[in-house]
Amino acid sequence: MIVTMEVNGEPRSAEVAGWESLLWVLRERLGLLGAKDACLQGECGSCSVLVDGDLVCACLVMAADAEGAQVTTVEGLASSGDLHPVQRSFVDQGAVQCGYCTPGLIVATAHLLEQDPDASDTDVREALAGNLCRCTGYGALVRAVAAARTATATDDGSAAPVGDGADREVRS
Amino acid sequence: MSGTLADRATVHGGVGTSVPRPDATAKVTGSFEFLGDMHADGMLWGATRRAWVAHARILRIDATAALAMPGVHAVLTQDDVPGHRYQGQAVTDQPVLAEGRVRYWGEPVAIVAADDAETARLAAEAIVVDLEELDPLVDLEAALEHGEIFRHVPVRRGNPDLHGEVVIEGTYVTSSQDPAPLGTEAGLAIPDGTGGVDLWGPTQWVHIDLEQLAACLALTPAQVRVQPCRLGGAFGSREDLSLQTHIGMLALRLDRPVKMVYDRTESFVGHVKRHGSLMHYRHEADRHGRLVRVDARILLDGGPYQLTSNAVIANSTYFAVGPYRCDNVTVDGYALRTNNPPSGAMRGFGSNQPCFAAESQMDRLADALGLDPIELRLRNALQPGDQLPTTGQLIEAPLPTDEVIRSVASIPLPDDEPNEDPRHLPGGTGLTTPRDRVVRGIGYAVGIKNLEFSEGFDDNAEARVVLHGDGAVVHTAAVEVGQGMVTVLTQIARSALGISKVHVAFDHTGQIGSAGSTSASRQTQMAGNAVLQAATAVRERALAQLGGDDLDDDGVWRGDTLLASLAELTAEGPIEQHVDYHHRATDQPDADGQGDLHVDFCVAAHRAVVDVDPDLGLVRVVQIAIGQDVGRAMNPQQLLGQIEGGIAQGLGHAVMEEVVLDHGVIRNPSFTDYLLPTCLDAPHVEAVLIEQPSTWGPFGAKGMAELPTMSATPAVVAAIRAATGRPLTRVPVRPEDLVAPALTGGTR
Ligand code: FES
Ligand code: FES
C-alpha cells in the first residue's frame, strides 16, 4: 500500500508493507534516520516523534495509521541551519554522551516546553520519564531543559552560555 | 613528558574547560550516523538463528526451507567458518556459531542473508534446529565442585595466625547486570572486491577484534579493516565480539555488503554482562576498628566462555578488601564456567561485586564497634606509603582515599522532610505512599579500582598528530563510545599545541596501530599521553623550523612578530609526529598473588540518602553525594556527566537492575521487564572533584569513569539498611526483601 504523510513540512509517500511501523517507514523508506530504535516496544522513547502535534513512540504507530498525518522528527526542528533552543542547550549543557537517546529526547523536550513552558524540574523529570538514557544519569538533561526554558522564555533563541569554559566547583 | 595547566591556559577549548563535545551538534540534529544507520549500495540484511535453550546437543540443522524462500541468499553454520572456528580475547574458546552443543540461552546457531530485514528474520526462524536438551550447570558451588574453573586467583599475604578481637562474617550475592547500552548491536561488512573486507561493528578495541576476525575469516590482518566508533554506548558490552564475524562471513561468501541489527532481546543475549557473584567474607579488627585480617572467597559466574573472565576475577580478588590498610589477607577468587549467559566486562570490571560485599562488612564492623561508618573507614583509609592489602604493592602515586571520604561526608544533606509532591515519594505517581510512612536512611561506601591493564600486560596506545595549514588532526584508533574521549583528546592536543583548530580522526586498523581498549578507565591517560607527546613534538618542531618561541592559530611567533602562518609553515608539507605510548611495566603476580601488578589506582566515596516505603518495600533515592578522585579535571562538565551516569548505573544495580535467570533462561530480556533507571528514579547528585595530579597522566589527569558506578551500589544499600534495619546481603534489593518477615526476626 502507499502511505502519504507530511513529514517536517514536506509531502512524502512510500510503498509500505502492512507490518511496517511509522518508525520503519521514516528510517528505511524515507531515509530519516534521526529517530532511533532502542527497544521497539514503546519503553525507551528513542523513536519519539510528533504526529499531528502529539508526542508518540513511532515504533508503536502502524505506518498505515499515519496516512494523512503531519509528522515532525528531530530533523524537522532546526530551522534554516539554526539549532532549536532545546538542541542548543543539550549541546551546551553536556546532555549528550553517546547520543542514542538524544533525538527522541530532543523531540520530547521541545514538545514539553511547548505544552508547558513553565514546567518545573520535577515536571520535566516526570514528562521525560518515558525516554531512557543509559549514559547521562539525566542530570545534564534536566539542566539542559532548564536552560532551554530560559532561552525560550527570553525568546532570544539562545540558551544561557553555560557550556564553554563554565567550570563547576572544584576543590583540591 | 607532562604539561601544566598554567602553560597554555589561554588556548581556546584547552584542558580544564568544559567545552562541548565535537559531535554534539550532529547528535542533537539526528545527523550523527550510528552503526545501525549505515547503508551500502546493494547491501543484504543478515539475521541470526538462535537456540533458545540453555544447554543442548545439536542433532540436526536443516536450512532447506529457509534457502527456498525468495530473497534468501545464504544460510551459514559453524561448518562454513572459513578460518579458525573459535573466538575470544584471552583464549579462543567460543565457537563462532554453536558447534555440536548449545551452551547458553540464545546462542547463535546459524546466520542468514536476505534481500531485506523481514525476509532475513523469517528465514532465520525457518531454519530447523533439532536439539536434545541437557541439564544446564547454573549453580556456582556446583561449578566449583565440578572444577569448571576459568581461573583461580589466590592471594596469601601476611600472617595466617593473626586474629582480631571483633569478627564479622557474611555471605553476599550480586545478580548479573546488563550493560544495556541504548544502541543495540549493529554492523555492516563491505567486501573490498579483492578478497578483503571493511567491517563496522560494536567494538571498544578495534585491534583485538582484528586479531580474532582475521583468524576466523582466514584473511591477513591487512585484508580486514576494522572501523571504530558510531556506538550507542558500551559500558563493557562491546569488549567481546558479537555479530562482527557473522557479517564478515556472509559478506565474503556472497561478495555483497551485509548489514545486521539486533533487536533488544537479541541484544540481551548478544553481549556480555556483569558477572553474578557469590562471596563469603570474614573481617577481623581490633577494638579500635583497625582491620587485622580479611579472608574472602569470591565466585564469579562467567557463563560458558572465558572472554574476559580471567581479568575480571583478578580485579575482584585484588580489590576484595577495598581502599583500606590490612596486612593479613587471604582471598580465593574463582571465575567459573556455567550455562548462564556469557559474562564479561561491565563498568568496574569485577571490582563492583567485592565492593558491595566488603563495604557491607565495613558497616557491620562499625556497628559492632559502635563506631560511625565514616570514622571506621577513615581509620583504615589506604594512603600513599601504604601497601595494597591484597597484593602488597606500595602505593606511591597520589591516592586521596581520606580526602574523598571527608569530602563526601561534608556535603550538605538534603532536607529532612520528605517532599509533599508524590513524585518525590517512593510510590511516585501511583500515590501509594503516605508521607508519614516514609523512613529515611543514609549510607556510605568507598571504592577503589585499578587504572589501565594490569598483571604485566604491555599496555600501549598509538597516536599521530598532523599539523596542516588549517589546523591539526589527531589520528587514533581509540574508540569513542559516547564517554567523551573525543573531547578530552581534542583538549589535550589544543593545550599541547597552543592551537584551537584541532580535529580528532578515528582511524581504522589499516591506518594506525593499536590504541588499546576503551576500558579500564584508560584512554584519558593512555591515548591522552600519546596525543600529548605527539602534539608536544609537533609544536617543538614547528618552533624549531623557524626559530619561533610561540605557536597559535595564527602561526609561529617570535616575540610580537608573526614569522609564518600555519599555511606558510606547512607549505612544504604537514608537520607530523607518531607516538607509541607505553605505561610503566607491571609485574605478573607470584604464586601468592603478590607484586606490583597495577599501574595506578583511583578512589571515590559515595553517600546515599534514600526514602523507603516500608509497607510496600519501595525505595526512592533522594540524593547521592560523591567525592571523586580525578587527578586533574580535564573537562569538569564531562566529568560530572560520567559521575551522574555512573551513579545511575550503580543505583540501578542496587534497587532495580537484575538479569533474572531461571535455569539459564533470561526471564526479562526486554526494556519492559529489565528495569533501567528513568529520569524520575535518578537522584540529585552532588559531586566534589578531588584534584591531586597524577604523576604520569596528561596534565595530571586520571581515568575515573568506572568509580562512580562502583560504590554507588553499596552506598544505596547501606542507606536502605539504615532505614529498615534489614540485613540486605543481595543486590538488587527487591521489595520483598524489605517487607517479608526477616529471617532472623519475627513479623514486623
Ligand atoms: S524504540 Fe520506540 S519506544 Fe523504544
Ligand atoms: S546519551 Fe547515551 S543513552 Fe543517552
Q: Which amino acid is at A89?
A: S
* Extended strands (E) in B456-599: 460-468, 471-476, 502-506, 550-552, 555-558, 561-565, 575-582
Q: What CATH number did the domain enclosing B197 receive?
A: 3.90.1170.50
Whether the CB of A134 sits within 6 Å of ligand 2: yes
CA of B420 to the centre of ligand 2 (A): 31
| CB contact set of B6 (below 8 Å; sequence gap of 6+) | none
Q: Does B25 touch chain A (CB under 8 A)?
A: yes
Across the interface, do B183 and A96 touch by the CB < 8 Å criterion? no
Across the interface, do B232 and A91 touch by the CB < 8 Å criterion? no
Separation of alpha carbons A27 and A3, rounded Å: 14
CA of B519 to the centre of ligand 1 (A): 28
Beta bridge partners of B291: B285
Residues B509 and B440 in one domain: no
Give A154's pLDDT tier (boundaries 50, 70, 90).
low
Give A161's pLDDT tier (boundaries 50, 70, 90).
very low
Q: Which amino acid is at B95?
A: P
Nearest to B20 among A132, A163, A168 (CB): A163
Residues B713 and B739 in one domain: yes
Average model confidence (pLDDT) across chain B: 96
**Which residues in chain A are contacts of B184 at CB distance < 8 A?**
37-38
CA of B425 to the centre of ligand 1 (A): 27
**Which residues in chain A are contacts of B228 at CB distance < 8 A?**
none
Q: DSSP letters of A33-87?
A: --S--S-SSSSS-TTEEEETTEEEEGGGSBGGGGTT-EEE-GGGTSBTTBPPHHH
* B113 assigned to some structural domain: yes
Q: What is the DSSP letter of B57?
A: E
Across the interface, do A91 and B407 touch by the CB < 8 Å criterion? no
Number of domains chain B contains? 3
- Choosing from B201, B226, B261, the residue where a domain stops is B261
- Choosing from B540, B561, B582, the residue where a domain stops is B582
Separation of alpha carbons B35 and B243, rounded Å: 12
User: What is the grid cell recorded at B396?
Assistant: 606511591
Residues B723 and B638 in one domain: yes
Residues B432 and B465 in one domain: no
Domains of chain A, residue spans: 2-76, 85-153
Residues B411 and B299 in one domain: yes
- pLDDT, position B435: 87
Residues B303 and B341 in one domain: yes
The helix (run of H) or strand (run of E) holding residue B28 is helix B24-29
Pick from B741, B733, B742: nearest CA to B714:
B733
* B157 assigned to some structural domain: no
- Choosing from B582, B602, B634, the residue where a domain stops is B582
Interface test with B, best of A41, A74, A135 (most B CBs within 10 A): A135
B571-581 tens-digit pLDDT: 999 999 999 99
Listed by number, the residues of chain A in 116-145 with a beta carbon closer than 8 Å to a beta carbon of chain B are: 122, 124-126, 128-142
B387 exposure class (CB count in 10 Å sphere: 0-12, 13-18, 19+): middle
- pLDDT, position B10: 76
ipTM computed for the complex: 0.96
Whether the CB of A48 sits within 6 Å of ligand 1: no
Separation of alpha carbons B577 and B117, rounded Å: 45
The helix (run of H) or strand (run of E) holding residue B336 is strand B328-336
**3-class secondary structure, B152:** strand
Q: What CATH number did the domain enclosing B569 receive?
A: 3.30.365.10
- B268: pLDDT strictly greater than 80: yes
* B660 assigned to some structural domain: yes
Atom of ligand 2 nearest to the CA of A134: 3
Q: Domain range holding B526?
A: 4-30+460-582
Question: Among A26, A28, A43, which residue has the most ligand 1 atoms within 8 Å of its CB, making it the best to mutate?
Answer: A43
Q: Does B17 touch chain A (CB under 8 A)?
A: yes
**Which residues in chain B are contacts of A172 at CB distance < 8 A?**
690-692
Residues B598 and B740 in one domain: yes
Separation of alpha carbons A38 and A53, rounded Å: 23
Q: What is the DSSP letter of A25?
A: I
Nearest to B679 among A77, A99, A125 (CB): A125
User: Measured between alpha carbons, how far is residue B716 from residues B424, B674, B737 in Å?
Assistant: 17, 19, 14
What's the half-sphere exposure (Cβ side, CA atoms, 13 Å) at A155? 1
Helix crossing, B309-318 with B352-369: angle to 10°? 20
**Which residues in chain A are contacts of B633 at CB distance < 8 A?**
167, 170
Nearest to A141 among B17, B19, B679 (CB): B679
- pLDDT, position B431: 83
The domain defined by A85-153 carries CATH number 3.40.1280.10: no
CA of A113 to the centre of ligand 1 (A): 21
Pairing of strands B561-565, B555-558: antiparallel
The domain defined by A2-76 carries CATH number 3.10.20.30: yes
**Which residues in chain B are contacts of A166 at CB distance < 8 A?**
18, 637
Nearest CA to CA, how far is B298 from chain A (Å)? 28
Nearest CA residue ID for atom 3, ligand 2: A133
* B350 assigned to some structural domain: yes
Across the interface, do B636 and A164 touch by the CB < 8 Å criterion? no
* B166 assigned to some structural domain: no
Q: Does B484 touch chain A (CB under 8 A)?
A: yes
Residues B298 and B397 in one domain: yes
**pLDDT over 70, % of chain B:** 98
Across the interface, do A166 and B30 touch by the CB < 8 Å criterion? no
* B131 assigned to some structural domain: yes
Nearest to A137 among B648, B690, B692 (CB): B648
Q: What is the DSSP letter of B392?
A: -
B523-565 tens-digit pLDDT: 999 999 999 999 999 999 999 999 999 999 999 999 999 999 9
Pairing of strands B684-690, B149-157: unpaired
Residues B345 and B238 in one domain: no
A17-66 tens-digit pLDDT: 999 999 999 999 999 999 999 999 999 999 999 999 999 999 999 999 99
Listed by number, the residues of chain B in 689-728 with a beta carbon closer than 8 Å to a beta carbon of chain A are: 689-692
| Residue B110 · residue B77 · CB < 8 Å | yes
Across the interface, do A131 and B679 touch by the CB < 8 Å criterion? yes
User: What is the grid cell recorded at A27?
Assistant: 528510517
* B170 assigned to some structural domain: no
Sheet containing strand A2-7, strands side by side: A10-15, A2-7, A70-72, A48-51, A54-57
Residues B578 and B596 in one domain: no
- pLDDT, position A81: 79
B146-197 tens-digit pLDDT: 999 999 999 999 999 999 999 999 999 999 999 999 999 999 999 999 999 9
Residues B444 and B515 in one domain: no
Separation of alpha carbons B274 and B288, rounded Å: 36
What letters, b where the CB count within 10 A reaches 16 and e where it falls short, cover B57-72? ebeebebeebeeeeeb
* B283 assigned to some structural domain: yes
Tell me if the bond preceding A161 is cis, omega within 30° of 0.
Answer: no
**3-class secondary structure, B183:** coil
Nearest CA residue ID for atom 4, ligand 2: A133
| Dihedral over alpha carbons B484, B489, B490, B492 (to 10 degrees) | 130
∠ CA B97-B103-B105, rounded to 5°: 90
**Which residues in chain B are contacts of A143 at CB distance < 8 A?**
none
Give B33's pLDDT tier (boundaries 50, 70, 90).
very high
Q: Does B652 touch chain A (CB under 8 A)?
A: no
Across the interface, do A40 and B263 touch by the CB < 8 Å criterion? yes
**pLDDT over 70, % of chain A:** 88
Separation of alpha carbons B28 and B625, rounded Å: 29
Residues B426 and B493 in one domain: no
**pLDDT over 90, % of chain B:** 94
**Which residues in chain A are contacts of B31 at CB distance < 8 A?**
34, 75
- A160: pLDDT strictly greater than 60: no
Residue whose entry in the numeric block shows the C-alpha cell 565442585: B145
